[in-house]
């Protein structure tokens, strides 16, 4: 841990090969990662044998899991929830095997503008998922994202207030709020600060294009400075999204990523995002 934060990152944006991912993180001095895509396979789809092999490689490189970058809750509100609970159960088992109590989740894709119609079902599902997390003694981290019920800060707060459990907390992702035309700071940040337990570090322009931290309108420096002043001690997970990577097509409806000039490699893009964050932290 350095000062008020612990660095982590979505290393599948470095390379699809887990050996390259972990080796590169080790070179950067980052001791945690947020497993999402492992050798081209989503973390929620790994069986016990594959998870044990992953843990062996993590131990070899001295890299821990900060949170499971799961796709739980990233289905339509009318899709089969019972089947999806099996995905959550599998993911919880994986989290425990990898030594983390955090699992990133979402709050279901909603037909355009029909938030009121599906509110009760969203809350029911989030409560069921959180009850399961409480039973298993893990913590779900709700991430804001375009298209789901919890896209705006006020609906994220509504979910967290309604479920009202220490086993459901918030991931704060500035770029995702920008893409939802939500002011990140101070509006969204102040509304959600009581629940923020984890940060995704990415920034975006008004167009929705993702850029390195501090180069967009996500107020990343101001948010990190405020987090430090408020006593935050937690993970800052680098999620560059500065270009396509293996597995992105199955994880996001939109890829707003952009990088001007000569196209760098995936590892170079990760390094760009890392250096941008470190520049901000050094100033803080």
> What number of other Cβ atoms are within 10 A of residue 190's Cβ?
11
Indicate the domain borders of the chain: 5-283
Cα 103–128–137 angle (5° rounding)? 45
Whole-number Cα distances in Å, 215 to 173, 180, 186, 204, 229: 15, 18, 17, 7, 22
Q: Angle of helix 115-136 relative to helix 153-163, nearest 10 degrees? A: 50
- Are the beta carbons of 153 and 194 closer than 8 angstroms? no
Range 54-74 average pLDDT: 98
pLDDT at site 261:
53
CATH 3.20.20.150 fits 5-283, yes or no: yes
So what's the pLDDT on residue 265?
86
As a whole number of angstroms, the longest Cα–Cα distance in the chain is 50
Q: What is the pLDDT of residues 126-151, one digit of tens each?
A: 999 999 999 999 999 999 999 999 99
Q: Exposed/middle/buried for 79, CB within 10 Å: 0-12, 13-18, 19+?
A: exposed
Query: What is the distance between the alpha carbons of residues 180 and 146, in angstroms, rounded to a whole number?
Result: 6
pLDDT at 1 over 50: no
pLDDT score of 260: 52
Rounded CA separation 30/46 (Å): 24
Cα angle 51, 55, 60 (rounded to 5 degrees) comes to: 150
- The more confident residue out of 180 and 248 is 180
Question: pLDDT digits over 79-133, tens only?
Answer: 999 999 999 999 999 999 999 999 999 999 999 989 999 999 999 999 999 999 9
Alpha carbons 145 and 176: distance in angstroms, whole number: 5
Banded pLDDT at 251 (limits 50, 70, 90): very low
User: CA-to-CA distance for 73 and 247, rounded, in angstroms?
Assistant: 17
Task: Give the distance from CA 249 to its chain's centroid.
Answer: 16
Query: What does the radius of gyration of the chain's CA atoms come to, in whole angstroms?
Result: 17
Residue 244 has a pLDDT of 45
For residue 84, what are the contacts with CB-CB under 8 A and spacing of at least 6? 72, 73, 75
């Amino acid at each position: 841990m350095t000062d008020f934060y612990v660095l982590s990152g979505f290393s599948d944006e470095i390379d699809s090969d887990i050996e390259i991912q972990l080796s590169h993180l080790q070179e950067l001095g980052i001791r945690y990662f947020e497993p999402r895509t492992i050798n081209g396979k989503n973390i929620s789809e790994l069986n016990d044998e594959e998870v044990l092999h992953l843990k062996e490689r993590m131990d070899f490189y001295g890299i821990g899991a900060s949170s499971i970058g799961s796709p739980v809750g990233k289905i339509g509100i009318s899709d089969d929830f019972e089947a999806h609970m099996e995905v959550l159960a599998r993911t919880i088992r994986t989290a425990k095997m990898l030594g983390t109590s955090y699992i990133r989740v979402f709050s279901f894709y909603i037909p355009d503008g029909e938030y009121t119609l599906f509110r009760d079902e969203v809350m029911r599902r989030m409560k069921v998922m959180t009850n399961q997390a409480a039973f298993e003694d893990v913590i779900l981290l709700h991430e804001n994202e375009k298209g789901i019920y919890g896209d705006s800060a006020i609906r994220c707060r509504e979910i967290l207030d309604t479920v009202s459990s220490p086993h459901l907390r918030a991931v704060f992702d500035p770029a995702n709020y920008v893409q939802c035309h939500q002011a990140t700071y101070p509006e969204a940040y102040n509304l959600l600060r009581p629940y923020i337990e984890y940060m995704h570090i990415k920034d975006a322009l008004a167009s929705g294009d993702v850029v390195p931290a501090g180069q967009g309108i996500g107020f990343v420096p101001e948010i990190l400075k405020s987090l430090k002043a408020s006593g935050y001690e937690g993970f800052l997970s680098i999620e560059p999204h500065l270009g396509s990577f293996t597995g992105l097509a199955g994880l996001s409806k939109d890829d707003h990523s952009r990088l001007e000039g000569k196209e760098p490699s995936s590892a170079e893009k990760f390094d760009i995002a890392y250096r941008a964050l470190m520049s901000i932290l050094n100033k803080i």
